[in-house]
Amino acid sequence: MKSLAKALFIPLAFSATVMASMPASAHHQPGHSDELNTEMKKMGFNFKRSGSAKTIEDLQNYVTEFRTHAENAKKTGYADAPEAFQKGIDQLLTGLAGVQAALDQQDLDLAKQRMKKLNDIRKKYHSEFDV
């Protein structure tokens, strides 16, 4: 039993040590800075939260956060394909303007529908960039 525990523990401990010593940038796609990776994760988090919004105020908060992180991501850029990345972020921000227009009209259902359409943009560019 002890030899089995040693056989399992040593490789696991070694793997954990190696992973802990790797820079954070080794854990995500080339072309992504740590800052861009963080902004994208925050965008995704707020996108997911927007789907469960029950009020205009809740959705407005999620959309505002999403927009802030999209604008930050735009400033950061994507080193491997800067023009295509900017085009995708611009499409996303244009779509967000449509969501905001629906929110301004106090139409929660329309705003949520428009927010869902942003997922098509996400899928297109994530596929294009293989992320």
Residue 43 lies in a domain: yes
Query: Is residue 51 helix, strand or coil?
Result: coil
| Cβ neighbours for 73, distance < 8 A, ≥ 6 positions apart | 36, 39, 40, 43, 89
Q: pTM of the predicted model, to two decimals?
A: 0.72
Number of other CB atoms surrounding residue 53 within 10 Å: 18
Q: Answer yes or no: is 85 within a domain.
A: yes
Rounded mean pLDDT, 101-119: 97
- Check residue 74 and give its pLDDT: 93
Say how many domains are in the chain: 1
Mean pLDDT of 87-114: 97
| pLDDT-derived band at 37, boundaries 50, 70, 90 | very high
* pLDDT digits 0-9 by tens, 41-73: 999 999 999 999 999 999 999 999 999 999 999
Identify whether the C-beta of residue 88 lies closer than 8 Å to the C-beta of residue 121.
yes
Domain that holds residue 63: 29-129
**Would 50 be classed as within a structural domain?**
yes
> Residue 110 sits in a domain of what CATH number?
1.20.120.10
Q: Give the whole-angstrom CA distance, residue 130 versus residue 123.
A: 10
Assigned domain for 17 exists: no
Residue 80's pLDDT is what? 85
